[in-house]
């Protein structure tokens, strides 16, 4: 997990000081309040028949393992800096080794240690535990357990996940010393991510909005299968006749949908907008925001508008590290899909079922084709990007 450039309109709360406590009752009490505060009120003719995430969690919390702080210190060699594998806005992530429940052998895990002070990190912890304690899908990272302690030295909040050996999509797209990610692999990763999002939106009893879809939150296992991670900003979606939930805008610059940034109205298709941004990242090999580029190129979405998808110059946006190893027709289809995901009006964005269908078609076309872009672009391999 890389450092995030996040924005938030939440006001900071006073530091929490309390005595050591058991975590499970606290999780239930506080998160129910947090979740209900972010839901819009129901209309008279749309009485709620579905249960909330906290209610679903109560049924399934026994599936999560409660770790002691001593166990997790031992797992990470007392949070040794050499074992740190990532850092985010609310804490650090370490590679660790634990004993599985049956006590046989060792299990490699990722352990996120949230910042010790401040209630915002605690909110992220609650959201992670509740959402990941409920969901179950091959394209969502698996939460194995947690540790929650309140003490005189501050709060301790730790989360234990399955270990994702190949880091993140962000790492492979933008890492300085990483080999270029093949075109077909990029497509399959985005297809996996779309299926994970579709499950969140439609596959469980209450719809879930991920709210922070970006390349650093798409993790990759040993076989390069993609899984969505970091559910600290996830929210329950609208139900019944409601079209959105209202909540203070938080997220990462360059990825958040305009209707959410402008009004605080969060919709399922706000996730689709973020998905479109990442589609352009896999096409171009550029981040959504890059301040070290010339002014006209710092914002990815503004820059790509100069090279429309149907123009002869479209190939100019493509990641030069791909070395033309992709069918141009497939790249155009992905760009057209991205453009549809990025339309200003949320209702005009495609459903995830359609996104999945287009990506499957692009994968099939790319697997069955050895086509390259036409020769006029090959002379530009040394073009400075």
Q: What is the pLDDT of residue 374?
A: 43
Say whether both 107 and 176 belong to one domain.
no
Q: Which of 255, 15, 237, 225 is nearest to 122 (CA)?
A: 15
Residue 40 pLDDT greater than 50, yes or no: no
Residues 343, 297 share a domain: yes
Query: What is the chain's alpha carbon radius of gyration, rounded to the nearest angstrom?
Result: 22
Residue 281 located in a structural domain: yes
pLDDT, one tens digit per residue, over 202-253 is 999 999 999 999 999 999 999 999 999 999 889 998 766 666 776 767 778 8
**pLDDT tens column, 345-379:** 999 999 999 999 999 999 999 998 754 444 334 43
The tens digit of pLDDT for each residue in 271-324 reads 999 999 999 999 999 999 999 999 999 999 999 999 999 999 999 999 999 999
**pLDDT value for 47:** 40
Any bridge partners for residue 205, and if so which?
A: none
With tokens 């006029």, the residue in question is 376
157 lies in the same domain as 257: no
Given this model, what pLDDT does residue 94 score?
98
Distance of alpha carbon 317 from alpha carbon 300, whole angstroms: 10
> Mean of the per-residue pLDDT values for the chain?
84
Which domain range does residue 364 map to?
169-378
Residue position matching structure tokens 């710092």 = 298
Q: Is residue 384 part of a domain?
A: no
Per-residue pLDDT, 108: 98
- Are residues 205 and 157 part of one domain? no
- The share of the chain scoring above pLDDT 70, in percent, equals 80
Q: Rounded CA gap, 20 and 27, in Å?
A: 14
Instruction: Give the pTM.
Output: 0.83
Residues 177 and 126 in one domain: no
Flag whether pLDDT at 12 surpasses 60: no
Residues 147 and 149: their CA atoms lie apart, in Å, by: 7
Shared domain for 128 and 247, answered yes or no, is no
Q: Does residue 221 sit in the same domain as residue 93?
A: no
49-96: pLDDT as tens digits: 678 898 999 999 989 999 999 999 999 999 999 999 998 767 899 999
Predicted confidence at residue 244, as pLDDT, reads: 72
Active site residue 212: yes
- Which of 133, 162, 191 lies at the terminal end of a domain, its last residue? 162
User: What are the DSSP calls for 11-41, one per residue?
Assistant: PPPPPP------HHHHHHHHHHHHHHHTSPP
What pLDDT is attached to residue 70?
A: 94
pLDDT at 302: 97
The yes-or-no verdict on residue 25 having pLDDT over 60 is: no
Is 149 exposed, middle or buried, given 0-12, 13-18 or 19+ CB atoms closer than 10 A?
A: middle
Q: What is the count of structural domains for the chain? A: 2
**Co-location of 265 and 326 in the same domain:** yes
Query: Coil, strand or helix: which one is 363?
Result: helix
Is residue 238 located within the same domain as residue 300?
yes
Residues 251 and 354 placed together within one structural domain of the fold: yes
pLDDT at residue 88, rounded to an integer: 72
Res. 117 pLDDT band, cuts 50 70 90: low
Rounded distance between C-alpha atoms, residue 218 and residue 210, angstroms: 12
Whether residue 53 sits in one domain with residue 68? yes
Write down the pLDDT at residue 49. Answer: 60
- Among residues 384, 301, 382, 294, which one has the least CA distance to residue 338? 301
Of 185 and 103, which is predicted with more confidence?
185
Query: 34, 150, 192, 212: which one is catalytic?
Result: 212
Q: Is the pLDDT of residue 104 over 90?
A: no
Average pLDDT over residues 142-161: 90
**Which of 122, 143, 162 delimits the end of a domain?**
162
């Amino acid at each position: 997990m890389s450092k995030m450039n996040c924005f938030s309109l939440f006001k900071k709360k006073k530091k929490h000081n309390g005595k050591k406590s058991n975590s499970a009752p606290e999780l239930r009490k506080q998160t129910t309040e947090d979740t209900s505060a972010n839901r819009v009120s129901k209309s008279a003719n749309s009485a709620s028949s579905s249960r909330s995430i906290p209610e679903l969690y109560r049924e399934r919390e026994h599936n999560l393992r409660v770790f002691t702080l001593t166990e997790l210190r031992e797992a990470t060699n007392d949070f040794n800096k050499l074992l740190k594998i990532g850092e985010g806005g609310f804490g650090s992530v370490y590679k660790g080794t634990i004993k599985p429940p049956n006590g046989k052998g060792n299990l490699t895990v990722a352990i996120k240690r949230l910042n010790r002070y401040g209630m915002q990190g605690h909110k992220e912890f609650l959201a992670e535990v509740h959402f990941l304690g409920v969901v179950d899908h091959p394209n969502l990272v698996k939460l194995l357990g947690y540790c929650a302690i309140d003490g005189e030295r501050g709060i301790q909040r730790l989360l234990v996940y399955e270990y994702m050996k190949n880091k993140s999509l962000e790492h492979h797209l933008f890492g300085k010393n990483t080999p270029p990610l093949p075109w077909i692999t990029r497509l399959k990763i985005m297809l996996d991510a779309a299926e994970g999002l579709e499950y969140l939106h439609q596959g469980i009893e209450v719809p879930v909005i991920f709210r922070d879809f970006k390349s650093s939150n798409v993790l990759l296992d040993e076989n390069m299968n993609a899984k969505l991670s970091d559910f600290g900003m996830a929210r329950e979606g609208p139900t019944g006749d409601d079209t959105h939930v209202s909540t203070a805008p938080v997220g990462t610059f360059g990825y958040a949908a305009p209707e959410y940034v402008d009004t605080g109205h969060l919709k399922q298709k706000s996730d689709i907008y973020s998905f479109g941004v990442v589609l352009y990242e896999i096409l171009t090999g550029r981040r959504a925001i890059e301040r070290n580029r010339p002014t006209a190129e710092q914002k990815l979405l503004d820059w790509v508008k100069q090279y429309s998808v149907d123009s002869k110059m479209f190939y100019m946006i493509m990641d030069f590290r791909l070395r033309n190893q992709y069918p141009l027709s497939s790249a155009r289809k992905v760009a057209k899909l991205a453009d549809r995901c990025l339309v200003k009006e949320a209702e005009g964005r495609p459903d995830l079922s359609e996104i999945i269908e287009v990506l499957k078609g692009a994968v099939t076309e790319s697997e069955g084709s050895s086509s390259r872009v036409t020769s006029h672009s090959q002379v530009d391999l040394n073009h400075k990007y």
